[in-house]
Amino acid sequence: MADSAPDIASSSRMDRLWYVKSQYPCIADCDQCGLCASFHGKDPTIAFKDYIDGKASFMEVSQRYR
């Protein structure tokens, strides 16, 4: 697992998608996980779509959900 999110300028869309999936793995047990609640009912890959698509930094998107 990477220590920090890949920079948009030096990473591919797949790098960023892999990072989000590795940081926020779905355990498919919504009663126990709570990740979707953290992202206002969204799957993390949907919540971080702007980051994955290279439109916003990881930090910018993260701050939307604080």
Higher pLDDT, 66 or 56: 56
Query: Per-domain residue ranges for the chain?
Result: 13-64
Rounded CA-CA distance 5/23 in Å is: 9
What stretch of H or E contains 5?
A: none
Cβ-contact 35, 24 below 8 angstroms: yes
Rounded CA-CA distance 49/54 in Å is: 8
Instruction: List the Cα angle 27/32/34 in 5-degree steps.
Output: 80
pLDDT in tens, 7-58: 999 999 999 999 999 998 877 666 666 777 788 888 899 999 999 999 999 9
In a 10 Å sphere around its CB, with 0-12 CB exposed, 13-18 middle and 19+ buried, how is residue 16 labelled? buried
